[in-house]
Amino acid sequence: MSYGEWKRETSSWDILFRLHLPYRAPRSKLAAFLWRRRVWLETTFALSMMQPWEKVVVVCVFWLFMVVFLISGYLYFPHHVRYVFGRTRYYLSGRELDVPAALKWSASYLNPWANASNPLAYAVRAVSIGEDL
Protein backbone atom coordinates (compact mmCIF):
# COMPACT_ATOMS: atom_id res chain seq x y z
CA MET A 1 0.00 0.00 0.00
CA SER A 2 1.32 3.37 -0.96
CA TYR A 3 1.62 6.37 1.32
CA GLY A 4 -1.01 8.22 -0.71
CA GLU A 5 -3.54 5.42 -0.26
CA TRP A 6 -2.83 5.26 3.45
CA LYS A 7 -3.20 9.02 3.76
CA ARG A 8 -6.45 9.14 1.74
CA GLU A 9 -9.60 10.22 3.63
CA THR A 10 -12.08 7.34 3.84
CA SER A 11 -15.77 7.85 3.23
CA SER A 12 -18.83 6.05 4.56
CA TRP A 13 -19.17 4.33 1.19
CA ASP A 14 -15.64 2.90 1.53
CA ILE A 15 -16.38 1.65 5.02
CA LEU A 16 -19.67 -0.01 4.16
CA PHE A 17 -19.08 -1.45 0.71
CA ARG A 18 -15.36 -1.94 0.04
CA LEU A 19 -13.90 -5.36 0.70
CA HIS A 20 -10.65 -3.99 2.11
CA LEU A 21 -10.84 -2.34 5.50
CA PRO A 22 -9.55 1.26 5.53
CA TYR A 23 -6.69 1.75 7.99
CA ARG A 24 -7.60 5.22 9.16
CA ALA A 25 -10.80 6.30 10.84
CA PRO A 26 -12.73 8.96 8.95
CA ARG A 27 -13.39 12.40 10.40
CA SER A 28 -17.20 12.41 10.41
CA LYS A 29 -18.78 10.98 13.53
CA LEU A 30 -21.15 8.59 11.74
CA ALA A 31 -18.43 7.24 9.46
CA ALA A 32 -16.05 6.86 12.42
CA PHE A 33 -18.71 4.92 14.32
CA LEU A 34 -19.30 2.65 11.33
CA TRP A 35 -15.55 2.20 10.90
CA ARG A 36 -15.16 1.15 14.56
CA ARG A 37 -18.02 -1.34 14.20
CA ARG A 38 -16.48 -2.79 11.05
CA VAL A 39 -13.05 -3.08 12.70
CA TRP A 40 -14.69 -4.82 15.67
CA LEU A 41 -16.59 -7.20 13.38
CA GLU A 42 -13.61 -8.06 11.22
CA THR A 43 -11.27 -8.64 14.15
CA THR A 44 -13.80 -10.62 16.19
CA PHE A 45 -14.61 -13.05 13.40
CA ALA A 46 -11.14 -12.96 11.77
CA LEU A 47 -12.55 -11.56 8.55
CA SER A 48 -9.43 -9.45 8.15
CA MET A 49 -7.45 -12.66 7.64
CA MET A 50 -9.62 -13.82 4.74
CA GLN A 51 -9.44 -13.25 1.04
CA PRO A 52 -12.06 -10.88 -0.41
CA TRP A 53 -14.06 -13.74 -1.95
CA GLU A 54 -14.11 -15.52 1.42
CA LYS A 55 -15.47 -12.38 3.07
CA VAL A 56 -18.24 -12.24 0.47
CA VAL A 57 -19.15 -15.88 1.12
CA VAL A 58 -19.21 -15.40 4.91
CA VAL A 59 -21.33 -12.24 4.68
CA CYS A 60 -23.75 -13.87 2.20
CA VAL A 61 -24.18 -16.93 4.43
CA PHE A 62 -24.73 -14.67 7.45
CA TRP A 63 -27.42 -12.65 5.64
CA LEU A 64 -29.05 -15.83 4.35
CA PHE A 65 -29.34 -17.20 7.88
CA MET A 66 -30.55 -13.84 9.17
CA VAL A 67 -33.28 -13.62 6.51
CA VAL A 68 -34.40 -17.20 7.18
CA PHE A 69 -34.47 -16.50 10.92
CA LEU A 70 -36.49 -13.30 10.50
CA ILE A 71 -38.97 -14.92 8.11
CA SER A 72 -39.47 -17.88 10.43
CA GLY A 73 -39.99 -15.51 13.35
CA TYR A 74 -42.49 -13.51 11.32
CA LEU A 75 -44.43 -16.66 10.41
CA TYR A 76 -44.24 -18.41 13.80
CA PHE A 77 -44.57 -15.49 16.23
CA PRO A 78 -48.33 -14.81 15.74
CA HIS A 79 -49.08 -18.50 16.32
CA HIS A 80 -46.96 -18.49 19.47
CA VAL A 81 -48.64 -15.33 20.81
CA ARG A 82 -52.02 -16.96 20.26
CA TYR A 83 -50.88 -20.08 22.10
CA VAL A 84 -49.45 -18.09 25.04
CA PHE A 85 -52.62 -15.99 25.21
CA GLY A 86 -54.70 -19.18 25.38
CA ARG A 87 -52.55 -20.65 28.13
CA THR A 88 -52.64 -17.38 30.08
CA ARG A 89 -56.40 -17.24 29.76
CA TYR A 90 -56.60 -20.83 31.05
CA TYR A 91 -54.37 -20.11 34.06
CA LEU A 92 -56.13 -16.88 34.96
CA SER A 93 -59.68 -18.18 34.60
CA GLY A 94 -58.98 -21.43 36.46
CA ARG A 95 -61.54 -23.38 34.47
CA GLU A 96 -60.84 -26.69 32.80
CA LEU A 97 -62.37 -27.35 29.43
CA ASP A 98 -64.56 -30.35 28.76
CA VAL A 99 -63.06 -33.03 26.48
CA PRO A 100 -64.63 -31.98 23.14
CA ALA A 101 -63.76 -28.32 23.68
CA ALA A 102 -60.23 -29.25 24.76
CA LEU A 103 -59.79 -31.37 21.63
CA LYS A 104 -61.00 -28.54 19.42
CA TRP A 105 -58.78 -26.05 21.21
CA SER A 106 -55.65 -28.19 21.00
CA ALA A 107 -56.37 -29.14 17.38
CA SER A 108 -56.49 -25.46 16.46
CA TYR A 109 -52.72 -25.44 17.05
CA LEU A 110 -52.04 -28.30 14.68
CA ASN A 111 -50.41 -27.68 11.36
CA PRO A 112 -52.87 -26.36 8.80
CA TRP A 113 -51.76 -29.04 6.39
CA ALA A 114 -52.74 -31.90 8.73
CA ASN A 115 -54.77 -34.40 6.75
CA ALA A 116 -57.70 -36.59 7.73
CA SER A 117 -55.48 -39.62 8.30
CA ASN A 118 -54.26 -37.93 11.48
CA PRO A 119 -56.17 -39.55 14.39
CA LEU A 120 -56.43 -36.35 16.39
CA ALA A 121 -57.80 -34.44 13.41
CA TYR A 122 -60.29 -37.26 12.85
CA ALA A 123 -61.37 -37.10 16.52
CA VAL A 124 -61.82 -33.34 16.37
CA ARG A 125 -63.85 -33.63 13.19
CA ALA A 126 -66.01 -36.34 14.80
CA VAL A 127 -66.55 -34.20 17.90
CA SER A 128 -67.47 -31.16 15.83
CA ILE A 129 -69.95 -33.22 13.80
CA GLY A 130 -71.49 -34.46 17.06
CA GLU A 131 -71.86 -30.91 18.34
CA ASP A 132 -73.50 -29.76 15.13
CA LEU A 133 -76.27 -32.33 15.46
Structural domain tally of the chain? 3
The helix (run of H) or strand (run of E) holding residue 114 is none
Average pLDDT over residues 4-17: 77
Q: 16: Cβ–Cβ under 8 A, 6 or more apart, which residues?
A: 34, 38
104 & 65 share domain: no
Q: What is the pTM of this model?
A: 0.51
% of the chain beyond a pLDDT of 70: 70
Domain range for 7 is 1-49
In angstroms, the CA 119 to CA 107 distance is: 11
Would you call 50 helix, strand, or coil by DSSP? coil
28, 59: one domain = no
What's the chain's length in residues?
Answer: 133
Predicted confidence (pLDDT) at residue 27 exceeds the cutoff of 90: no
